[in-house]
Amino acid sequence: MHPKVLLDACAELVRLTLTFEHPADAVVSRFFRDNRGLGPRERATLAETVYTVLRKKLLFDHMAPSGSGPKERRLAILGFYGPRDFLEGALTDQERKWLDQCDGVTVDDLMERHRHNLPEWLVQPLKDQLGTGFWPLVESLSNAAPLDLRVNALQDKRADVQKELAKAGIKAVATPYSPWGLRIDGKPALAKFDVFTRGAVEVQDEGSQLLALLLDAKRGEMVVDFCAGAGGKTLAIGATMRNTGRLYAFDVSGHRLDALKPRLARSGLSNVHPAAIAHERDDRIKRLAGKIDRVLVDAPCSGLGTLRRNPDLKWRQSPQSVEELVAKQTAILASAARLLKSGGRLVYATCSILPQENEAIAEAFSAAHPDFVPLDAGEALTQLKVEGAEKLCSGGASGTGYLRLWPHIHKTDGFFAAVWTRK
């Protein structure tokens, strides 16, 4: 494709994404559907350009006014993902001069906001939690996440899958904490490989795998994945149950549960029962009250732990949206807890890095539900033979350890989990 045409396409995609009316990944997918003539290399350039603009938006907003032409074109030039000589073939002399000036900017001379590229409301809560770790987090969030796979333990062994991928030219390393994980650099088209089509692997962040592990669902149990979504954790839990017992996958979005069906077919699991519910107090929930051995509540959250993958979330969320989520999280956790029988295990999890969606929810639940005894997540993971489990956890006000994962420390997305047993 001619450089000018590709840059125009990048500018148009940047414009569509920055309306923030829809998630960035949905906007990009739709653009590709509407422009079927794009080759894999062009798609990669388009997608990565948009994601770079989203990651560095404040810095680029700062540099863009000194350029000429439409703003989305200037942002696309600054974030262009591809060889510089290719890009320069699409630029006017004026734009080349401007870009050279931008290249000359020293990062250390910039204001903090142009260095961290985070909305102001998010900065202080992160500095309060991390102290000197704030800038390493910023650094990690400015890069794309690697691709993590979960090996389907029902059918395959990790070492065998690793060898099979190597034969196909894909280098995968074992994840340090999850016993099922393999990590890949780059983005191979997995859907083409037998290892994917036969259900030996699923794409799933190592942190997400650890949440499924923490539930520790056993053979023959009754288990509920309360906010199953597209079912990544559901499939991991079903495999730990060795395809026995009953695993209910509940979600208020039938559309998300539809995305689980092809994955379920590949996985070889027959113990999973997906069901759309109207809300957290649905009659289906009432009928199962007090009958369930284990419940995972992977609550709807701000998703701010996934900024390496979804950098648009920092611009699409707000203090108000987080407040609304906190109310929802509190209600969902209280309803889900009713399902458990005595001796049952409850896990509350988010992919957020904000204390009000994490520790605050867990502490409030413990205070309001004396029949639920907090369990130390680090001890639980150590019993499950996770090496270095204590490094994954932080203490809460009650002295109990919560699972707390950070991109810059653990190389996973940002995750939180709290665990309880019902008396």
- Kind of pairing, strands 401-405 and 292-298? unpaired
* Cβ contacts of 369 within 8 Å, gap of 6 or more: 334, 337, 420
The helix (H) or strand (E) run that includes residue 342 is strand 340-350
The answer to whether the beta carbons of residues 265 and 198 sit under 8 Å apart is no
Identified catalytic residue from 102, 227, 301, 351: 351
- If one counts every other C-beta atom within 10 angstroms of the C-beta of residue 263, the result is 18
Do 202 and 267 meet the contact criterion of CB atoms below 8 Å apart?
Answer: yes
351 noted as active-site residue: yes
In 3D space, the residue among 421, 403, 408 whose CA is nearest the CA of residue 213 turns out to be: 403
d(CA 138, CA 130): 11
Tell me the HSE value of 10 on the side-chain side, using a 13 A CA sphere: 33
Backbone angles phi, psi at 404, to 5 degrees: -140, 105
Contacts of 15 (CB under 8 A, 6+ apart): 70, 72
Catalytic annotation, residues: 351
